[in-house]
Amino acid sequence: MSSPDGRFGSPPYLIEAHRDCYEQIHWSNMGEENPVRDRLLPRLRTGGVDLVVYAVGGDTLAHSNGRDKKLLATIENIESLAGYLSQADDAGVVRSASQIPDEPDDRVRFLLHLEGGTPLEGSLLALDALFELGVRSIQPTWNVRNELGDGVQERDTRSGLTRFGVQVVQRMQQLHMVVDLAHMSETAFWHTMEVTEGVVVVSHANSRAVYDHPRNLTDRQVEAIAERGGVVGIHTLPTFVGEGKPGIDELFRHVAHLVDVAGVEHVGFGGDFVACDGPRPGREQLFHDPRVEPPTIEGLSEAHELPNLVDALFGAGLDEDSVARILGGNFRRVLREILPR
């Protein structure tokens, strides 16, 4: 398998806009000295990934090592990651726009993220404290309801953000953090759009017009993200791609439709690979049975297989500039616009 760089005149800056820290937690529990250095970073480098948005906490029990202490677990995950990265060559955490280079420099960067606001424990001071620890991106919700608002599993209630949720997203924008609307109920999505300004993103979702799944976005939502200058990152989990065992070609149908609706400058790569995550707690509320290994797209099971996606994008007729934008150029533009200077 060739590196993604081989298809370009100059190497693209590749951003994986969503990855969970489940693998870090799992292999640490199994006694491994440094799973980030020894497992994750080699795959990211093989795939050409330059920056990964890394969920170090959130609403899921998997983020908190099966415990209900979400804030404590988030702090532990951040500190563990810092320790792992201190033992790795050419890897670190991004805190500001100035730390994102113009082109690849052989350094893998981690942008710290929360997949749901439960770790905030109802406190804006907790938000400020996590910002000081390096968190720069938050999804207000995961699938379920929390203190900020309704996730997609609560969509039938037609409820949006709570008063605390409104305070959080507005404070996030004051701090120059990324507001990520992935996993939100559609009502909460539109409520967030009403109470925020400027660029927002959906880090990992596909098109509902291509495949009708509640985690995917309507064309109207995609258009709204684009109008605000944001980006939608395509999602690799087959559950959100199509029926049966969809492949890379079916994933490209989502790419093509999103480009048609929003323009190529508003489409990115979300990732959310699950093949190497490790087992999740049995009482986790997911769309799939947590006792069953989640399916993957053949040829795109993890970051090391990203050259196959590059081949598919070029094979479908996209030009070099468009492919580079989708792989990371668009998310890099957004991060540089949002993050603190």
Is the pLDDT confidence value at 81 over 50?
A: yes
Model pTM score = 0.94
* pLDDT of the residue at 293: 61
Share of residues in the chain with pLDDT > 90 (%): 87
- Which candidate, 332, 327, 326, places its Cα nearest to that of 97? 332
Q: How far apart are CA 197 and CA 194, in angstroms?
A: 8
Q: What value does the mean pLDDT take over residues 117-146? A: 97
* pLDDT of the residue at 10: 87
* pLDDT of the residue at 1: 43
Q: Which two tokens stand for residue 99?
A: 């730390």
Q: What value does the mean pLDDT take over residues 101-114? A: 96
**Reported confidence tier of residue 25, pLDDT bands at 50, 70, 90:** very high
pLDDT in tens, 245-294: 999 999 999 999 999 999 999 999 999 998 777 666 655 555 455 445 66
Share of residues in the chain with pLDDT > 70 (%): 94
* pLDDT of the residue at 287: 46
* Cβ contact 58:139 at 8 Å: yes
* pLDDT of the residue at 118: 98
47, 51, 57, 59: CA torsion to nearest 10: -70
Is the pLDDT confidence value at 78 over 60?
A: yes
Handedness of CA 243, 247, 249, 252 (dihedral sign): positive
Alpha helices in 30-122 (DSSP H): 35, 41-47, 70-86
- Which candidate, 117, 149, 134, 174, places its Cα nearest to that of 54? 134
Average pLDDT, the chain: 93
Residue with tokens 């070099």: 320
Q: Phi, psi (5° rounding) for residue 184?
A: -75, 150
46, 1, 271, 173: CA torsion to nearest 10: 50
Q: How far apart are CA 102 and CA 31, in angstroms?
A: 38
Residue with tokens 């989990």: 237
**Reported confidence tier of residue 216, pLDDT bands at 50, 70, 90:** very high
Q: What value does the mean pLDDT take over residues 204-229? A: 98
Alpha helices in the chain (DSSP H): 22-29, 35, 41-47, 70-86, 124-132, 163-175, 186-195, 219-227, 248-262, 306-315, 320-324, 330-338
Q: What value does the mean pLDDT take over residues 320-334? A: 97
Length of the chain: 341
Q: For residue 200, how many other CB atoms are within 10 A of its CB?
A: 24
